[in-house]
Amino acid sequence: LEQSKYQKWKKDKPQQTITSVGGWTGITDKYWLTALIPTQNERINAQYNVTPVAGVDVYEANFAAVAKTVNPGQTVTETTRLFAGAKT
């Protein structure tokens, strides 16, 4: 688990990448959570960025999975879950 306060994130590591197998990535506050949950046995590179846009700091969390080769006639299924809502 990697956690950071918003101001510390902005000051110390405005751009960072964390590699993990399983888990989730997201942004939370006292009352809400937004999370992306990849397939739990897949290696991901989670990226966290703070970017100033028109005088406002934009906080972003995302991830990229390992690239897969899809041959002609082959199908591949990729599942990612999203949670956005209130914490209980």
pLDDT tens-digit readout, 30-70 = 999 999 999 999 999 999 999 999 999 999 999 999 899 99
Label residue 40 left, alpha or beta by phi (over 0 means left) and psi (-120 to 50 means alpha): alpha
Is residue 57 included in any domain, yes or no? yes
Structurally, the chain folds into a number of domains equal to 1
The answer to whether position 37 is within a domain reads yes
Confidence (pTM): 0.78
73, part of any domain: no
pLDDT for res 88: 83
Q: What is the 3-state secondary structure (H, E, C) of 40-67?
A: CCCEEEEEEEEEEECCEEEEEEEEEECC
